[in-house]
Amino acid sequence: MAQPSLVFLLFLVCIDLIQAYHFKFRGSHDISSGLASRANAETQIAGSVMLSNKGDVSYYADIVVGAQTFTVLVDTGSSDLWVAGTVLKSTPTGQNASIKYAANSVTGSIKRANVQFAGQQVIDQAFLEIQPGDNNLEGHGILGLGPASGSFISKDLPLGTGETLLNRIFTQNSSTANFFTLLLGRNNDPSTFFEGSVTVGEVLSDYKAILGEPRMPVTSVVESDHVDQHLQVLLDPNGIINSDGIPIPIKTAVEQTVNKDQATVVFDSGFTLPQFPRAIVDQIYGRYAESEYREVPGFGGVYVLPCEQEVNLTLKFFGKSYPMHPLDMTMDPTSVNLSALETADGQNACIGTFQPFTYTRGNFPSYDIVLGMSFLRNVYSFFNFGKYTQNSTTIEEPYIQLLSITDLAEAHSDFVTIRLGGIDTTASRKLIPTTSSSSKHRTTYYIVAGVLGALVLSAIVAFTVLRSARRR
């Protein structure tokens, strides 16, 4: 059995809480004149869809299936479309299917209907219609934007009749380039506010610079695991830079990777919390005072630390640095309508968003890290499918481009405003030095002391010899 596709774990656990919590949608009247061009860029170009940001936990787009509009989670880690509820003007295929995700699955009837998305209409698109329930609210669903090889629906239909929505858009119109872009906004950002957007075959006008960024080749999984192919690239060696500027070492668990110092990273907008090996997460959060690893209902195993603790991290791809906004490194659980937390000494506590894997990747994993929404808010992302597009004549290798959109000075100011009430106390909250760091400092001290001792001894010997010579 193929390993389950990746999808955001909190979606099925917390969707009822998220829907119960009201997040005010800000229209253009809330955006300052300096930011208006960014908002306009999201709405005025062809092939774009505005996203609705639900508290930085999920990003939704509207899609028309049959004669109804559904609200779907935009997921770059899966490939199929499903919706909950009876779809009018749809045709049954007589086939059922299950779409498997990292920790769950959905099952329903495969149907066909006309679908409208990103300014495109696709005739007789195959999708899954499931029964609404407590975890799958009527009128909602998931739209997978991953490689077509990961489709579960296509495997239960005759060859060529179950292609994914994105693949159909690419192939039905030769003028539509085989790429899409993703921009995710940050809730309550004091400097910049936008909900987010997806574009198909177009680049947002304010972010054209992304076309000049390095083209990072998508790494391929072994042929036997082609259903587990994701939008994934290699991290640079020493590509995880901690708050103290020191790289956090990581060795890949992916067998076919030649350089074992390069981790394979999946970009998955379905995950609220990025997934990392536990040892890496320990280095990111475990060295702060009052940080503690614990099980938190609704999240699983995570680090809990004071909300006033600024955490900085930078990731490197193809020689380029991509800093994280400190507001994306920790999350206040009350922002998603969950119970408040406290540290052991009673401080208001936040959750570290970089989480140890909450599911097994199998004995032969095809990736080491999953970068979800928390990371993707810090970049504008460009995903070129190249030859991954089924029934296409293109032979171009698929690639990904990232444009950093986080300014470190502005991000620090945002953190001070939101978490510290405008009073900067971050200088008093630094990483606790590791044992190895302390040993290095002690070694340096001993070397310096030894050199100074030798110089002093040499001076004494020279002075004694000179004095004896004068007495003669």
| Same-domain pairing of 463 and 384 | no
Residue 469 lies in a domain: yes
Strands (E), 17-137: 48-50, 52-54, 58-65, 68-75, 81-84, 91-100, 105-117, 120-130
pLDDT at 224: 63
Residue 253 has pLDDT above 80, yes or no: yes
Nearest of 227, 120, 211 to residue 167 by alpha carbon: 120
pLDDT at 453: 55
Residue 190 lies in a domain: no
| Mean pLDDT, residues 417-429 taken together | 95
| Same-domain pairing of 171 and 221 | no
pLDDT at 298: 83
Which residues have CB under 8 Å from 375's CB, separation 6+? 267, 274, 315, 322, 324, 328
Domain carrying residue 154 = 10-184
pLDDT at 45: 63
| Same-domain pairing of 417 and 449 | no
CATH number, domain containing residue 389: 2.40.70.10
DSSP at 191: S
pLDDT at 222: 81
Residue 404 has pLDDT above 70, yes or no: yes
Distance in angstroms (rounded) separating the CA atoms of residues 174 and 190: 41
| Same-domain pairing of 469 and 399 | no
Q: What angle (nearest 5°) sits at the alpha carbon of residue 369, between those of residues 419 and 163?
A: 110
pLDDT in tens, 93-120: 999 999 999 878 999 999 999 999 999 9
pLDDT at 448: 44
| Mean pLDDT, residues 452-460 taken together | 56
Residue 89 lies in a domain: yes
pLDDT at 32: 28
pLDDT at 7: 40
Distance in angstroms (rounded) separating the CA atoms of residues 418 and 118: 34
Distance in angstroms (rounded) separating the CA atoms of residues 403 and 378: 8
Residue 214 lies in a domain: yes
Residue 470 has pLDDT above 60, yes or no: no
More confident residue, 21 or 196: 196
Integer angstrom CA distances of residue 150 from 5, 135, 161, 229, 231? 7, 23, 15, 6, 11
Residue 36 has pLDDT above 80, yes or no: no
Residue 199 lies in a domain: no
> β-pairing, 196-200 with 48-50?
antiparallel
Residue 422 has pLDDT above 70, yes or no: yes
3-state secondary structure of 164: coil
Which residues have CB under 8 Å from 239's CB, separation 6+? 247, 262, 263, 315, 316, 317
pLDDT at 342: 96
Residue 332 has pLDDT above 90, yes or no: yes
| Same-domain pairing of 464 and 371 | no
More confident residue, 47 or 412: 412
- Token readout for 310 is 């600024």
| Same-domain pairing of 130 and 226 | no
Residue pair 380/204 in contact (Cβ under 8 Å)? The answer is yes
Distance in angstroms (rounded) separating the CA atoms of residues 462 and 297: 72
Residue pair 408/323 in contact (Cβ under 8 Å)? The answer is yes
Residue 290 lies in a domain: yes
Backbone φ, ψ for residue 90 (5° rounding): -120, 160
Distance in angstroms (rounded) separating the CA atoms of residues 169 and 182: 17
Q: pLDDT-derived band of residue 459, with 50, 70 and 90 as boundaries?
A: low
What does pLDDT average to over the chain?
85
| Same-domain pairing of 447 and 418 | no
| pTM of the predicted structure, to 2 decimals | 0.84
% pLDDT > 90, the chain: 71
Residue 5 has pLDDT above 70, yes or no: no
Q: pLDDT-derived band of residue 14, with 50, 70 and 90 as boundaries?
A: very low
| Mean pLDDT, residues 332-339 taken together | 89
| Same-domain pairing of 31 and 145 | yes
Residues in the chain: 472
| One-letter identity of residue 267 | F
Residue 335 has pLDDT above 80, yes or no: yes
Least confident range from 149-163, 269-283, 441-455: namely: 441-455
| Same-domain pairing of 180 and 278 | no
pLDDT at 1: 34
Residue 340 lies in a domain: yes
Helices and strands (DSSP H and E) totals, the chain? 7, 27
pLDDT at 30: 29
pLDDT at 409: 97
pLDDT at 163: 95
| Same-domain pairing of 324 and 386 | yes
Integer angstrom CA distances of residue 310 from 83, 258, 287, 294, 305? 39, 36, 12, 20, 10
Distance in angstroms (rounded) separating the CA atoms of residues 389 and 148: 7
| Same-domain pairing of 235 and 91 | no
Integer angstrom CA distances of residue 73 from 8, 63, 303? 9, 10, 26
More confident residue, 25 or 419: 419
- The beta-carbon contacts of 411-418 under 8 Å, at least 24 apart in sequence, are 411/323, 411/325, 411/326, 411/327, 412/310, 412/326, 413/191, 414/189, 414/190, 414/191, 414/325, 414/326, 414/327, 415/310, 415/325, 415/326, 415/327, 417/190, 418/188, 418/190, 418/327
The total domain count for the chain is 3
Residue 24 has pLDDT above 90, yes or no: no
| Same-domain pairing of 365 and 457 | no
pLDDT at 450: 52
Residue 374 has pLDDT above 70, yes or no: yes
Residue 203 lies in a domain: no
